[in-house]
Structure 1
Amino acid sequence: MLAQLSQVKRHIGLILIALIIAPSGFAQSSIDEKPNGFAMAGDLVVARPIGLVMTAVGGAAFIVSLPFTALAGSVSESAESLVLGPAKETFVRCLGCRVSGYSYKDVERRRDRKEQEAEQAALEAAEQQ
């Protein structure tokens, strides 16, 4: 039991070290909003699972720290740092992108396609008359 606890502590320590080192590595690299297949595959296989684990660990840490942060009046800052930040990086960032946020590319493409279809229908209706 004690050996398992030691291994768990070691794994948590390694994850925390990786999280501390990773942001500095991403900050030094250029922003690539048109990721290639390799970047997408790496993001899917490596970064997203790590982000999911960090969101879960952050959620647990947030719950544990909630009584203290509530007394200090910093619940929102704690929630942002421990839960919302990792969740945003995991679920809101496009696959392979380095900057989180919505790109709305699909929405824009769909709107453009509908506009083209409406113009085509209008031209066909004008030709029939």
Structure 2
Amino acid sequence: MRFLAAFKKPLQVSLAAVLLLSGTVATAQTVEEDPSAGAMVIDAVLARPLYFALSQVGSLVYGATLPFTLLGGNAEQAAETLVVTPLQAAFVRCLGCGKMPNQVGELKEGEGKFIRHFVMLSAGQANYSESLVDVSGSAIGGGLFLGTHFSLNDDSRYDVLLGYRTFGTAELDKNGTEFEDTASSIQIASRFGKRIFWDLELMGKLGLHRWSAERKVNNSTSSSSGFGFLYGIGVERFVSDNLRLGLDYTVYSLNKKDEYEADVSTADLNISYMF
């Protein structure tokens, strides 16, 4: 539990480093443009936040329609248009630039762009930190996810995924009163990052989730649910043509005023089958 909590501050720093890494690489590649100071200010204040917001709305639409787009055969186009393109515009362009190299919409599959779908299983430890009662605890849980993966020839990667994760049941104690918290999450998230060496890729994760929590105290049970944000960082690598192994750390917000206010952080081992 303390081990997981100790990673919360470094996680925020590391996630920022992923974003800065993407921006630095793009700046080095885009040398033809010479944006003005005004263009840089407008880009930083207006354009990039808008593109980021569009990418997250696009993730929601993509995740909600993924089963249908997979059956219809246009999941790749939906992910590219709704999520990957605005993510690139938000994080990969140099500041104030109107163009970017390796724009996903201008690349053909197999010629700078590779698209695969995947099923991912995850399992690991979840750390509960509930502020209303001021208790904390840990439990073991796991999840199942379905998504689409983009790899570009500049070593950047983008994923969009829809999934479910149970956080398990944490046994808690407050001044001698024992109770149990059980929580789960249905989530839609986007992941983006860079290959750092060999086949190892560093990535950040952002998304939204619908959570539900149940508390058992003595013979009574109370429940709560709501929507919240999630963010995290992780690493992944291919171990074969179709299998990827990864580690990630994610923080989930479970907050409903005066009912249930908690952060749940997870450290997971993931295995993905690409198809």
Task: Normalising by structure 1, report the TM-score.
Answer: 0.52
- Residue 37 of structure 2 is matched in structure 1 by 37
Larger relative contact order (C-alpha < 8 A, sep ≥ 6)? 1
The offset of 1:83, in angstroms, is 0.6
- Residue 82 of structure 2 is matched in structure 1 by 82
- Residue 50 of structure 2 is matched in structure 1 by 50
The offset of 1:89, in angstroms, is 1.1
- Residue 97 of structure 2 is matched in structure 1 by 97
- Residue 61 of structure 2 is matched in structure 1 by 61
Structure 2: how far apart are the matches of 1:76 and 1:95?
Answer: 28
Give the letter for the 1:43 counterpart.
D
The offset of 1:50, in angstroms, is 0.1
What do the CA deviations read for 1:88-127 (whole angstroms, capped 9, x no partner)?
A: 111111100000237xxxxxxxxxxxxxxxxxxxxxxxxx
Q: Secondary structure at the match of 2:98?
A: coil
Structure 1: how far apart are the matches of 2:65 and 2:91?
Answer: 24
Q: Secondary structure at the match of 1:83?
A: helix
- Residue 21 of structure 1 is matched in structure 2 by none
Structure 2: how far apart are the matches of 1:87 and 1:51?
Answer: 7
Count the aligned residue pairs: 71
Structure 1: how far apart are the matches of 2:53 and 2:94?
Answer: 18
Structure 1: how far apart are the matches of 2:90 and 2:33?
Answer: 16
What do the CA deviations read for 1:23-79 (whole angstroms, capped 9, x no partner)?
A: xxxxxxxxx810011110110000000011001001111001101101101111111
- Residue 71 of structure 1 is matched in structure 2 by 71
Query: Following TM superposition, where does structure 1 have runs of at least 4 consecutive aligned residues deviating by more than 4 angstroms?
Result: none
Give the letter for the 1:100 counterpart.
M
Give the letter for the 2:78 counterpart.
S
List alignment gaps of at least 5 residues for structure 1: 1-31, 103-129
Q: Secondary structure at the match of 1:64?
A: helix
- Residue 122 of structure 1 is matched in structure 2 by none
Bigger shift: residues 53-62 or 32-41 = 32-41
Give the letter for the 2:74 counterpart.
S
- Residue 235 of structure 2 is matched in structure 1 by none
Give the letter for the 2:53 counterpart.
V
Structure 1: how far apart are the matches of 2:78 and 2:70?
Answer: 10
- Residue 23 of structure 1 is matched in structure 2 by none
List alignment gaps of at least 5 residues for structure 2: 1-31, 103-275
Q: Say which structure is richer in helix.
A: 1
Q: Say which structure is richer in strand.
A: 2
